[in-house]
Structures are given as structure tokens and as C-alpha cells.
Structure 1
Amino acid sequence: MASLHTVVSDMTSTFNKQMEDFRKQLQGISTTTKDPSAKLATEFESFRLFVLDSLQALQSQVSALMNISDDQEMRSRHKMVLFHGIAEDDNNNPIGEVLQIVSKKLHLPNINEEAISRCQRLGKKLTGSKARPIIVKFRDMQVKENIWKAKTNLKASGVTVSEFLTKRRHSIFLQARKQFGLNNCWTKNGAIYILDSAGKRHRITCENDLHDVTPVDVSTGPEINKSNPGPSEDHDAGVTTRPKRINSKAKR
């Protein structure tokens, strides 16, 4: 879907360039001949505007479809979180590692293996690379919410918990952090929030929304009220590639 959006954008740019070149040629002919061909020039302009309107309508439809697809994909991830910073070796048991963190660091001992429907390392292991994040899907949304609320207990532990954002939202979130600072951006249930220079919260749905918000001076600007943060903060939103299907030996 994203590639189709790019194709339409490229088509529009190419069309504009070719039409502009043709219009210059037409104007040159009109000024060097006794008959300026005014009718041809008028018809050309009408055709140009028609094609541009058609391309803009197509672009809008593609954008709408992209939003629908992205929303559906994010809904399928609502019960998922990513655990970052858990060391791995060949003998690691991802479920066991996660449950140990949940019990000892998040102080949620009642969450057991039965609460997890999927648990695996994300991506391909590379020699010398840092530990891959662990993607965890819970059977019940409330369990995921309990994990999310308790993740502040992980401070200074080296382990973080983030939402499993789609590629599009992950890209927007990274751009938001670059513009507004780490402490003024967070996510909750797949939605991206930012704090502007006046301390007002904004929900971001596309990259263009970022241009409508006044950035915070990250050295002096407001930070999220830690005692009443509203949506839970996620300063470490996770990688976005879709996980490979788990084989029959993996925990479901």
C-alpha cells in the first residue's frame, strides 16, 4: 500500500514536469506564429487541471486505504508488547525470561505461562548483535494493560517494554521524538501523543500532523507531568516488522 502511494506521488511529479515543459513549448509557438492557437492552449489547460484533480482524488483514496489498513494491523497488535534488553543465548527460554521479569521486576507474580499465547525473539539473530527484543502476545487485554501500567518499575533495570507499532506509526513516532524530544512523546494503545510548547497534548495520526504543532524547546520546555501523565508513556516504541509465524513447537 505504501509503495502504491509512492507511485502515485511519482506519477504526479512526472506529469507536472511534462505538462510544464509542454506549456512552455506551446507558449513559444504562440509567440512566434500569427495564429496563437488560443483554443489549443485553453483545451490543454483544461486537460491539465482534469488530470491533476484525478491524481489528487486517487492520492486521497490511497491515503484513506492506507489509514484503514494501518488501523486494522494495529488492532491486531493490541495484545502485544515488546520486551527490550533481555539478554539472550542459545539456551534462553523466552517465555521463562519474560515471566521472570514480570514476576520479579514488574511485581506481577500471578501472570503465568497460560496468560501468554505467543512469545518469541523478533528478527534473525546476528553474530555480535545486541539482544533481540521479545514479542509477547497475551490472551487477555487486561493482562497486557497490567504489564503496561507496571512498566515504570523497570527503570534502571536495563529492560524496557514498548508497544508493537506498525511500520508507519513507528516511523511517525521516531520523527515526533526528533522534533519534540524524548520526554514529550509517548504512545498508548497504538496512538501517538505529543506535548507542544504550551503543554497541550496532541494525538498524531499522520506525519503531516507534526507540522501543525509548535515544537517544545527540549532544553527548557514543559515535560509530561509524571504524577498525572494521562496516556502511559512509551519512550522506546519497538521495531515494526511483522513477526514470522511461530512453528508448532513454539508456545501458543
Structure 2
Amino acid sequence: MKSTEGTVADLTMKFTERMERFEADYLHKSPPDLAPGSALSMPPDYLEFKKFIFETLECLQRQLESYVTEVDALEMRNRRKILLIHGVPEQSKEDTASEVVGVVRDRLDLKTFTASAIRRCHRVGSQANTRNPRPILLKFRDVDVRDEVWHVKTRLKGSGITLSEFLTRTRHRVFMAARERFGVANCWTKRGYIYINGPKGKRHRIVSHGELHAIGEPAPVSERCLAPITEECPTAAPKQSPAAVAPKPSSTGPRRVRVASRNLFITKTL
């Protein structure tokens, strides 16, 4: 799909360049019957044809984007029961299922979790990089068990092991771009969707670069949430005015002053 999108963009660019060269050559050639001082313009039929071509390419681009979005959603739905476990030490001969069960039971404190809840479990990626352990792809039999494990992932804090959702390539790129733009603490994923705390504390749910670009500029650093990456960021409490924060005056001093001032005003009036 990436090559198809690139082909449409290349066609649009080439068509634009050819049209610009043709128009420049046409306008530089003045016909002999052209009146002095008059400007040469492109024929109406040519302008209509150019407009039709651009509208056709734009329509084709929208259809391709819609198709890519549907395919991406279908692929993400197939990954709904999958999580990635990062940071588990890797050995030459290992039973990844046993490693995963140990992490879930000991680190996440889910004592009832067993290997029977695992449909598929293996390392992903090339073995060339021996410095860092490869992530473990874990596919559950039941999506409810998957969600239970995902909801307690914060218990892994400080252990060097992390959990992440198995996003599609498109959504992973959108997620990384969102973190770079809005900060790590303001972006997280949930069930394949990307959540962002945008300007003015408004929360956005996106899946594409177009939706990311539609969000305004990031909020100032002082207003950004400092929650972990994969956790929902709580909405900031509304700021109170200084009058609401200031302590209420006591029932003695200020009231007596106001009464004395009023009596003084009445005495002067009399």
C-alpha cells in the first residue's frame, strides 16, 4: 500500500510539472494575430481538462487512503489478543511459555495465570543483536485475560520489563510521531488506539497521521501530564481563582472595621 500511495503522489507531481512546462511554452509563444498590449491566456478547454485530471487524482488518493485505513483496522483487529513483552533475559535454549508464566505470576501478581491461557508465544526479530533480548510475542486464547494482564502492567515498573501492544506498522509510526510531538507522558495506547492529551487538556483518539496533524499545537510543558507512557493521563483539575483559594475573613476583625467605617460615615453626614 505504501508503494501504491507513492505511485499516486508521483503521478500527481509529474503531471503538475508537465502542465507547468506546457503552460510556460504556450504563453511564451505569441500568435501573429495577437493584438499589441493584450495578454495571452490558456484555452478554456485546456483549463477544464487540467481541473478534471486534478480532481480525478484527488479522488483516487482519497479512495486509497480509505482502503488503507480499512486494511489497517482489520489487521489491528487480528492483533487484539497479542501483547509484546520487552526486557525478559534471553537464553540459547529456553521455554518462552514458562518465562512468560513466571513474569505474569511473579511480576504482575496474577497467580491464577497458566500456560493454558497462551495460544502462541515466541521471540520476534533477528538474533544478530545479542546485546538486548528480543521481545516476546504473546498471543492469548481469551481477550479478557489479555486485558487483565494489560491493566496491571504498571506493576512491572522498576523491573526492566515492559509491556506494549502489538501495533500495526502504520499505527506504530503514528504513535512514535505523537510521542515526539506531545511528549512521552501525554501519549499512550489502548486496544490498538492511540490516545493523546492535546492542547487545553483535550483528549484525542487517533489511528492515522492525518488525525495527528489535525490536532493543534502541544500544550506548554508545565501543563502536560506526567503519567507513565501506557497509562491514561488524568484530566487536570480546573484552576481556581485567587479569590476562591484565599482564606475567608474571620468573623471579628474585618467586620468590625467595616461597621466602624460605616458609623464614621454616618457621623460625618450628620
**Which of the five TM-score ranges fits, normalised by the shorter chain?**
0.7 to 0.9
> What's 1:119 paired with?
121
Supply the distance in 2 between the matched residues of 1:181 and 1:127 (Cα, whole angstroms).
28
Which amino acid letter does the alignment assign opposite residue 5 of structure 2? H
2:211 matched to which residue of 1? 209
Q: Which amino acid in the other structure matches residue 5 of structure 1?
A: E
Instruction: Tell me how far 1:34 sits from its aligned partner.
Output: 2.3
Contact preservation (8 Å) 2:81, 2:142? yes
How far 1:222 sits from its partner (Å)? 2.3
1:73 is aligned to 75
Specify the code of the residue in structure 1 equivalent to 2:200.
A
One-letter identity of the residue aligned with 2:19: M
As a proportion of its length, which structure holds more helix? 2
* Post-superposition offset of 1:26: 1.2
Residue identity opposite 2:195 in structure 1: Y
Alignment-derived partner of residue 34 in structure 1: 33
Match of 1:11 in 2: 11
Q: Secondary structure at the match of 1:119?
A: strand
Structure with higher Rg: it is: 2
Where structure 2 has 5 or more consecutive residues not aligned to the other structure, the ranges are 235-270
Q: 1:185 aligns with which of 175, 180, 187?
A: 187
Unaligned stretches of 5+ residues in structure 1: 233-252
Q: Say if 1:33 and 1:156 are closer, same or farther in 2 by CA, change over 3 A.
A: farther
Asked if the contact 2:81–2:146 (Cα under 8 Å) also holds between the matched residues in 1, the reply is yes
Evaluate the alpha carbon distance shift between residue 218 and residue 79 of structure 1 in structure 2; reply closer, same or farther with a 3 A threshold: farther
Q: Give, in whole Å, the separation in 1 of the partners of 2:224 and 2:86.
A: 28
Q: List per-residue Cα deviations over 1:127-153 (Å, max 9, x = no partner).
A: 434111000000000000001011000
Structure of greater relative contact order (alpha carbons < 8 Å, 6+ residues apart): 1
Aligned match of 1:158: 160
Query: For residues 224 and 201 of structure 1, do their structure 2 counterparts lie closer, same or farther at Cα, with a shift above 3 Å needed?
Result: farther
Which AA in structure 1 matches 2:221? S
The TM-score with structure 1 as length reference comes to 0.84
Among candidates 186, 197, 217, match of residue 195 of structure 1: 197
2:144 is the counterpart of 1:142: yes
Please give the alpha-carbon distance, in whole angstroms, between the structure 2 residues aligned to 1:45 and 1:134.
58
Q: Give the 3 Å change call, closer, same or farther, for CA 27–125 of structure 1 in structure 2.
A: same
1:47 maps to what in 2? 49
Match of 2:264 in 1: none
Partner Cα distance (1:121, 1:11) in 2: 41
Residues 215/93 of structure 1: CA separation in 2 closer, same or farther (3 Å cut)? farther
Provide the C-alpha distance between the structure 2 equivalents of 1:39 and 1:128, rounded to a whole number of angstroms. Answer: 67
What's 1:94 paired with?
A: 96
Sort the Cα spacing of 1:188 and 1:25 in 2 relative to 1 into closer, same or farther, 3 A: same
Task: Measure, in 1, the Cα distance between the counterparts of 2:90 and 2:25.
Answer: 65
- State the Cα distance separating 1:201 from its structure 2 match: 0.3
Q: Residue type matched to 2:11 in 1? A: M
C-alpha spacing 1:225/1:134, structure 2 compared with 1 (3 Å) = closer
TM-fit CA distance, 1:231: 8.1
* Aligned equivalents of 2:25, 2:223: Cα separation in 1: 53
* Cα-Cα RMSD: 2.2
Residues 1:91 and 1:225: Cα distance change in structure 2 (over 3 Å) = closer
Q: Cα gap change, 1:47/1:129 in structure 2, threshold over 3 Å: closer, same or farther?
A: farther
Instruction: Describe the SS at the equivalent of 2:132.
Output: coil
Is the aligned partner of 1:107 residue 2:109? yes
**In the superposition, relative to structure 1, how do residues 127 and 177 fare at CA in structure 2: closer, same or farther (>3 Å)?**
closer
- Give the whole-Å Cα distance in 2 for the aligned partners of 1:230 and 1:180: 14
Deviations for 1:32-72, whole angstroms, at most 9, x for unmatched residues? 54259x79722211111111111111101100100000000
Structure 1 143/4 Cα, relative in aligned 2: closer, same or farther at 3 Å?
A: same
Aligned length: 229
